[in-house]
Every structure is written in structure tokens, then in C-alpha cells.
Amino acid sequence: MHKTRTPKEVLELASREGVQIVDCKFIDWPGQWQHTSFPMHELEESSFEDGFGFDGSSIRGWQAIHNSDMLIIPDPETAIIDPFCEHTTLSLICDIADPITREPYSRDPRYIAKKALKYLNLTGIADQAFFGPEAEFFILDDVRFETSQNAGYYFLDSVEGRWNTGVDEGPNLGYKPRYKEGYFPVPPTDHQHNLRSEMVIEMEKLGVVIECHHHEVATGGQAEIDMRFAPLTQMADQLLLYKYVCKNVARRAGKTVTFMPKPIFDDNGSGMHVHQSLWKGGEPIFAGNEYAGVSQECLYYIGGLIKHARAIAAFTNPTTNSYKRLVPGFEAPVNLAYSSRNRSAAVRIPMYSASPAAKRIEARWPDPSCNPYLAFTAMLMAGLDGIENKIDPGDPLDRDIYSLSPEELSGVPVMPGTLAEALDCLEENHEFLLKGDVFTEDALETWLEYKRENEVAAVARRPHPHEFELYYDV
């Protein structure tokens, strides 16, 4: 992905491949890809400037109906041939613009990410921000759910699920990972090895460089595929492509994928550890002679992440389900501390390599339900605020945080316990996000309003199935 291509070269690619359909993809406000398609003859060199019109009022969190006309502007550097379409299809990721002013749309998450990189350059601190997310997900065989006035339930199943050890599967062959012991047995206990390999092969065909794949800790088909780090906007593009490939490869095999942070009760949830580093003039600025071989700038970056983590959780952990994962006992970091090697810390400094180029930090609290453009941007802005204001992260915590007493943890800040709390934290602490006009007040207010009305309130006012277990006979 992101080869340097001109519009003319994209048209030449389409001609060579016999493209019949052009598919224009863009991200909505909560973080899902949307698309609209055109016959190939509709794509011309001028389309990469003029764009195509669409109804912005039908996209979640965007325009009012009286200002609904908007433009999608294809980015030629994102051109790929979509491997899942029956007819040869050219896929292009698009930016959003106002049709009258031709200005980029302030609520386009991809534009917000691009503004963050411009601001990074203006600070003089660095000229490139690299991100490497490790998104976890579940590969399932069956999912059913419903909520209505008189019913509410969900049902998940996987041939791998430990809960199926006693089921007559005609025959049941066993080999089902024990709860919290899915990291990482070989096949046949790892049922999904070949399917993950297929996902990797499809991604690499599309230009996404993969470093590894493996089963994750939970039973029931939990998986992880790791991409090589890339610049912020490119990596956000790639993460959406990653989800697209995983879901469509699974569907092709008669299975289904979910990136929900906590779909299975009492086993590990799906996180998205995000590796981050800053570079300037081709040199890494996080390498140095301080703790764990990092620079003072890196420590300040960590200080900014820890200081603002509770606020940016509204972007990095943006669903009510996110906070079913952020509880002690399931490897999700609740306490905001940093360390080298220690996976119970919210920020870890990986120690796999002594090379300065490999020096980075890893934020361990985010999850893959996020809008990656907004989540990566929020983390970058928090880290930059740490460097600009020399925010001291305090002393590292090199002990198992889960084993510490309440007294020992009394000075360690904790993540929000609910999405509602995270949104309140963002409302109270967001000035650092407004620097360089990266986020706007309108964008933040829209995010808060959308999440509170469409998710927090919607979940809060519905009876929960477990409430019937607890209270039906009161």
C-alpha cells in the first residue's frame, strides 16, 4: 500500500488489470469503512481533484440534511485491486471535501490525522511518527444477537471454544484451548493457523508488510496478526484494510471475525497494543541513555501519554464494551504506569533489540474497536504535549502491578471504568488536542454528543441479561 502513484499511473494500472469497477472507500466518524462504486469509465485523471458527490447526511456523525452534499476525493497512492470482488475492482481510499469551498472536511478522520503530522513538523520535534498496532480479534463459527422491547441476548460459538468439550460434534475431536491458555499451542489445538496464513498472504499481496501471526490467549479462536510499523496515516489506512481482509477471508471460509474488545465472558479480551516512535531527519529520537535505553524526549512522550490517557481513552477505547476488557486479571493494563519489558504496565518499552532504530514505546491500553486515525492522532498529540511541556512520567514500575497492594498503588492513576467516564475526562481535558487546529471544538463536541447519545445512553437504558439472573425474583 501507499506506493507513490500519480492519477495517470492509477489509470494505467486499471487498464493493465482489466478493471471494471472503481470502489471508493472512506471512513465514517465512529471508525468503519464506507464505500460507493462506479463503472471504470467514470474514473478520469480529473477525478482525483474533482472527486465524486455523495450524501454526507447519511453518514454517522456527519452533516445535517440541509448541508448534505459532499465530495469524496480518491487518493491515488492507495490504489489496489480488491481481492474479494467478483468483478475486477480498483479500490481507492478517499478524503472528504466540501463541494462549495473545496476545503477538507473538518470531521473527516483522515484529514485530522494529516493535520497532526503537519503539526508535528511545525513543532520541530520530529518530522515523522511511526505507528505499529497489534490488533487482536476472534475468529468464530456462529454469532447471533438481538435486542428488542422484550428480549435481549447474544450467542457466540467456535469449534475451538473450551465450552464445547462436552458437545456431540459427530465426533468431537477435542483440542480446544483451555481458558486463558491459547498463547500459543500448535495445531490441531490451534484450529485457525491456515486461515490466519491466508489472511497474511492476502494482506502481503496488497502491500501490507506482516511480521508474524499467532493464536492469542483466549479460547474460542482469538488471533493476532502483526503489521510492520508505518507512518501514522498510512498505518491507519492499513489497519482498516487489515480488518477488511480478516473479515472477508473468514467469510470466504464460512466463519466470522469480530474486533469487539470483550465478546467472551471471563476470558481475555482483544486489545491493540500500539508501538510508537518519532524520527527526525531519518534518525530515531526515542533512543538515548536514559532508563531502558531511551531518550529524555521519549520519557517526556510517555509522561504525556500517561497524563492524558484518561482523556484519550475516549478515542483509543471508544465503546461501552471496551471497559469490559479494561478490568484487572485479564492482561489489560488498568493502572497508568510505565516499565521496560513489564506487560502489566500501561506503557511498555520493548527490549527485543538494542538497535536505536528499534527503540519505541508501546501503549497497551487501546483496543481495535477504535477509529485508527483519531486514536493514533490523540496518542501523538498527548505525547507531543509531554515533550513540549517536559512532563515527567515519574519512576518506572518494574514489578507485577497486579500483585501490588492498594497502598502501593495509591499514587498510580487508573484508566476510566466506563465509556461515560472517559467521555467526561475528554470534555475536561482536551486543550492539547486543539493545538495546530488538529482537532476542532466542533469535532470534539460531535464525538462527545454522538457517543453519549448513540452508545452510552442506548446501552444504559436497556436491561442486561444478567440482571434477570440477579433480580428477577426480587
> H or E segment at 351?
none
Tell me how far apart the alpha carbons of residues 296 and 277 are, in angstroms, rounded to a whole number: 13
Count CB-CB contacts under 10 A for residue 72. Answer: 24
Asked about 360 being catalytic, the answer comes back as no
- pLDDT(343) > 70: no
Query: Where does the pLDDT of residue 1 fall: very low under 50, low under 70, confident under 90, or very high at 90 and above?
Result: low
- Show Cβ contacts of residue 403 under 8 Å, excluding neighbours closer than 6 positions: none
Catalytic residue among 75, 82, 136, 267: 136
Tell me how far apart the alpha carbons of residues 334 and 329 are, in angstroms, rounded to a whole number: 10
Rounded average pLDDT over 63-92: 88
Catalytic residue among 102, 228, 341, 343: 343
- pLDDT(58) > 90: no
- pLDDT(198) > 90: yes
Asked about 108 being catalytic, the answer comes back as no
| Percent of the chain residues topping a pLDDT of 90 | 84
Grid cell listed for 244: 477488511
- pLDDT(264) > 60: yes
Catalytic residue among 45, 55, 211, 395: 55
> H or E segment at 89?
strand 89-97
Asked about 453 being catalytic, the answer comes back as no
Tell me how far apart the alpha carbons of residues 372 and 233 are, in angstroms, rounded to a whole number: 9
- pLDDT(65) > 70: no
The region that residue 207 occupies, defined by phi over 0 for left and psi between -120 and 50 for alpha, beta otherwise, is left
Asked about 449 being catalytic, the answer comes back as no
For residue 77, report the phi and psi dihedrals to the nearest 5 degrees.
Answer: -75, -10
Least confident of 68-82, 270-284, 313-327, 348-362: 348-362
Tell me how far apart the alpha carbons of residues 137 and 258 are, in angstroms, rounded to a whole number: 6
- Letter for the amino acid at 22? V
Asked about 224 being catalytic, the answer comes back as yes
Cα three-residue angle 212-81-59, rounded to 5 degrees? 90
- pLDDT(221) > 50: yes
Rounded average pLDDT over 80-84: 97
Which of 54-68, 238-252, 391-405 is modeled with the greatest confidence?
A: 238-252
Q: Do the Cβ atoms of 315 and 387 come closer than 8 Å? A: no
| pLDDT score at 401 | 72
Tell me how far apart the alpha carbons of residues 381 and 434 are, in angstroms, rounded to a whole number: 9
Asked about 142 being catalytic, the answer comes back as no
Q: Is 271 exposed, middle or buried (0-12, 13-18, 19+ CB in 10 A)?
A: buried
Grid cell listed for 156: 457466540
| pLDDT score at 423 | 98
Tell me how far apart the alpha carbons of residues 94 and 362 are, in angstroms, rounded to a whole number: 29
| pLDDT score at 63 | 63
Grid cell listed for 413: 492513576
- pLDDT(261) > 80: yes
Catalytic residue among 362, 367, 385, 455: 362
Catalytic residue among 162, 273, 275, 348: 273
Catalytic residue among 108, 134, 141, 455: 134
Least confident of 12-21, 62-71, 78-87, 323-332: 62-71
Tell me how far apart the alpha carbons of residues 155 and 286 are, in angstroms, rounded to a whole number: 45
Catalytic residue among 108, 216, 331, 385: 216
For residue 156, give the nearest of 169, 140, 167 by alpha carbon. 140
Asked about 49 being catalytic, the answer comes back as no
The region that residue 82 occupies, defined by phi over 0 for left and psi between -120 and 50 for alpha, beta otherwise, is beta
Tell me how far apart the alpha carbons of residues 202 and 83 are, in angstroms, rounded to a whole number: 8
Which of 27-36, 147-156, 242-251, 288-297 is modeled with the greatest confidence?
A: 242-251
- Show Cβ contacts of residue 75 under 8 Å, excluding neighbours closer than 6 positions: 48, 92, 93, 94, 95
Catalytic residue among 75, 190, 202, 224: 224
Catalytic residue among 364, 385, 430, 455: 364
Asked about 362 being catalytic, the answer comes back as yes
Query: CA of 439: how far to CAs of 97, 171, 363, 375, 443, in Å?
Result: 16, 56, 21, 12, 6
| pLDDT score at 69 | 82
Q: Do the Cβ atoms of 129 and 380 come closer than 8 Å? A: yes
Rounded average pLDDT over 413-438: 97
Q: What's the pLDDT tens digit per position in 225-248?
A: 999 999 999 999 999 999 999 999
Tell me how far apart the alpha carbons of residues 437 and 435 are, in angstroms, rounded to a whole number: 5
- Show Cβ contacts of residue 431 under 8 Å, excluding neighbours closer than 6 positions: none
| pLDDT score at 335 | 87
pLDDT mean across residues, the chain: 93
Asked about 102 being catalytic, the answer comes back as no
For residue 344, give the nearest of 332, 327, 352 by alpha carbon. 332
Q: What's the pLDDT tens digit per position in 99-154?
A: 889 899 989 999 999 999 999 999 999 999 999 999 999 999 999 999 999 999 99
Q: What's the pLDDT tens digit per position in 297-335?
A: 999 999 999 999 999 999 999 999 999 999 876 677 888
